[in-house]
Structure 1
Amino acid sequence: MALLPRLRRLLGRPVPASRVGARRPGATRHGDVPQEDALRSRLGDDPNDEQAFAALAEIVRRHAVTGSDDDPLTAEADDAERQRAADLAVWSLGEELAGNPRAWYPLVEVARLSVRDDLEGTLRRLTTAAERDPSGRALVAGLRLLREAGLPVEALGLGTGHWHPRDHDPEAGRELVLAAVEADRPLDAKQHLASLDLYPDQASIAQLRRELTRLVEHANRPTTA
């Protein structure tokens, strides 16, 4: 089940998406409004500003958890409900910012929230993020997210169709080699390592290649009974 309806159901009351993450009545008292406006302005200029997104996400999380003086969530919610409300607030923020056709980082953050409940949606968001970013940073983030979630095969599927070793951040190559080793596919690991030959600045990735070469050699050693 997708996270958004699941969170709404678990919260036990409707949470309109248009209001999640919006300024709450207590925001002005705490001085959040000027900071929130400044962060939204930064994200309007660069929707992939990771520091600005993290700071704004912290604000909307706090609003979702503390609420206003008459918000029943403040008085009655347990820790799990508060966490779900906070996650839903960040989900809504990420979806809002992802409407910018240049945005890839918000898609990765929404994918992070959905990876346990909606793998199909997660992969769709990570694919879109990778397609929006010519530098390869989005691909690196998506591959790492999937690996950390224990999904190396899915990481390989994402990377195989979207990694451009000549143009992308070489960290994408690292993530693919690691995913191949974790998926017990040593031949794939060797192939992805060899693809780093296409990167134009070989001197800058010399240390990376040495590290990955040792890893691939170890992965290709026959195991003894």
Structure 2
Amino acid sequence: MIERHPGVLVWRLPEPLLAISSGPHGGGLGVRHWALNATVPKDYARTDPGVHVAEIAADLGLRGPGTGLLTAVDVRDVVVETDGGVRSWVTTGIGAHPTWAAGPPAEWLPEVGTINAVCVLPVRLADAALVNAVATVAEAKAQALGEAGVPGTGTVTDAVVLLCPADGPVEPYGGPRSVIGSALARTVHRAVHTGISLERAGTGTGVVTSNARPTTMPGDGDDRRWP
């Protein structure tokens, strides 16, 4: 499903999927034929990121409606996690200045840092469940950041794309204790943890990690361990 091009990760979908996206191009809720996550320079200054994504898509021959994200992270450092039929690809860049969601008004823009997540779900989620699942991603990300000692809940440019079948039996829930939502939360949590480690070590370029390390969630017993 995923293609790796210089500076770009592409999901050229074999069949259109229902998406909910906060991306600058193709954001919102609707059927999408492709998704992408592209690296931009740390001094990126374009004021039309949606147009930029469309240009990248055209250069790659992507057709039909799609959605795209941009990041200053080298997308070769994507971390891939799977759980319960959910697959998540996350690029993590905290930069020097993470931000609190409920912090005071900012008088300046923090240094570049972005956490982008593209997640494919195995079943159709109801529209409301997709909205709930976006919140689940944010909660899992914030949990990973807190456990890693990061003083913030994310960055000002974090984005998410969730993709699921457009048809089939509808799953009504996407929260962190639902079947799909819990698997989604675990994949994002693990991926962000690993991404933080790559950024801190400065050794991530070119590394793609899939279920890289055993993870026990706080409060879980020995019977709740994921590869």
TM-score normalised according to structure 2 size: 0.26
Q: Which entry has the higher C-alpha Rg, 1 or 2?
A: 1
Of Structure 1 and Structure 2, the greater helix share is in 1
TM-score normalised according to structure 1 size: 0.26
Of Structure 1 and Structure 2, the greater strand share is in 2
Q: Which has the higher contact order (CA 8 A, sep 6+)?
A: 2
